[in-house]
Amino acid sequence: MERVRVLVIDDSALVRKLLSGMLASDPDIEVVGTAPDPLIAREKIKQLNPDVLTLDVEMPRMDGLTFLENLMRLRPMPVVMISSLTQQGADVTLRALELGAVDFFTKPGSDLAGTFEAAAKDICSKVKAAARARPRQRTAVRKLDVAPRLSADAVLPRSQAVGSRGGSPIIAIGASTGGTEAIRVVLESMPPDAPPIVITQHIPAAFSGPFAARMDNCSAMRVCEAQDGQPIQPGHAYIAPGSQHLLVLWDGAKYVCRLHDGPPVNRHKPSVDVLFRSMAASVGAVTVAALLTGMGDDGARGLLELRQAGARTLVQDEETSVVWGMPGSAWKLDAAPEAVPLDRIAARLLALSHHTIPAAHAAAAHC
């Protein structure tokens, strides 16, 4: 397998040095060059023909967003953004994802060396996944300490009792790399009276609030960052906070959002598997679930549990996914009977929601 050729673009000489060294420590990555600003980067792209760019959002001479917008119009290619963990950094990064960036990682204001070292495996994985993604128009190898990979059992044991307390469907969506844009496409197509939607998107804690606000502005539904104990209502979409797992539970009278501060599952917090498992146990057959674009396999086993509980399930198809990792893993598990293009997912979720209602009423009649 050929190594992924990366061009690092950042106005900070220290960041260029640290990031280049960290990326070069991965045997599957070759750093072919660096650039301190977009104008120099533009010439180096022509000379070096890299597979992936890492791009800082704040740079002199031309800001990262303007450069990205021009790049995606003239020469679309995979870009991983470097963002600061601030409100402004979150807004700019979400805009970059709208413009076509594949993914992003965050840098703090201090201890850059320690942060890059701790996140080396994740950053290298993002860059390698970006090399396989579909860009959209609009030192010595260091041994890394890797946290143990936990399943959803670490947060919520699998329940044998599966079923719904009511006949109204609930839609569940999981996503990761490329998911912020995929979720936008789905929510923009939803009517204001759509069934309630619960969403787990892999995203840092500082970004989930701004992301929910952006989705609220572009959707006829009311979209918010989920709060613990919040009732789940039609016409509303609830996005998991970036630092907590989102579960859907029955409180004796209604379905509510429950936030859980358990360990990362599949190395993610929030985890799609946790959301899907909670719905398999508490919502069951009236769940309609979709697993969208994303790196890895979080959500694949949870989607299978939902299908086994009688839920209607689907995955985003490979052609329209930025990375067909999560939906592809679910497809291989036979966790969904259909793979749907992104622009048809909203309509399909609504159609499946309408189909669950008669089945739910029939099940209630036998109770």
Q: What string of pLDDT tens digits covers the 367 residues of the chain?
A: 689 999 999 999 999 999 999 999 999 999 999 999 999 999 999 999 999 999 998 777 788 899 999 999 999 999 999 887 677 788 989 999 999 999 998 876 667 777 777 788 889 999 999 999 977 655 333 333 445 667 778 777 776 544 555 579 999 999 999 999 999 999 999 999 999 999 999 999 999 999 999 999 999 999 999 999 999 999 999 999 999 999 999 998 999 999 999 999 999 999 999 999 999 999 999 999 999 999 999 999 999 999 999 999 999 999 999 999 999 999 999 999 999 999 999 999 999 999 865 444 433 333 3
Task: Give the pLDDT score at 355.
Answer: 80
DSSP class of 262: -
To the query of whether residue 216 is one of the catalytic residues in this protein, the response is no
* Longest alpha-carbon distance in the chain: 70
- Per the annotation, the verdict on 202 as an active-site residue is yes
Catalytic residue selected from 20, 83, 84, 176 = 176
Active-site pick, 26, 37, 202, 297 = 202
Q: Domain 154-365 is classified in which CATH homologous superfamily?
A: Methylesterase CheB, C-terminal domain (3.40.50.180)
CB of 215 within 8 A of CB of 180? no
Q: What is the pLDDT of residue 160?
A: 52
The residue to which tokens 């679930």 are assigned: 289
298, 317, 329, 353: which is the annotated catalytic residue? 298
* Domains 4-132 and 154-365 fall in the same CATH topology: yes
User: CA 90 to CA 214: how far, in whole Å?
Assistant: 11
Chain centroid offset of residue 151 CA = 18
Task: Write the Ramachandran bin of 178: left for phi over 0, alpha for psi from -120 to 50, otherwise beta.
Answer: left
Specify the pLDDT at position 137.
53
The pLDDT value given to residue 161: 46
Where are the chain's structural domains?
Answer: 4-132, 154-365
- Retrieve residue 188's tokens: 């923009």
Q: Residue 317: its pLDDT value, please?
A: 98
Fold for 4-132, please state it: Rossmann fold (3.40.50)
Q: Give the helix/strand (H/E) hosting 304.
A: helix 300-308
Q: Is 219 a catalytic residue?
A: no
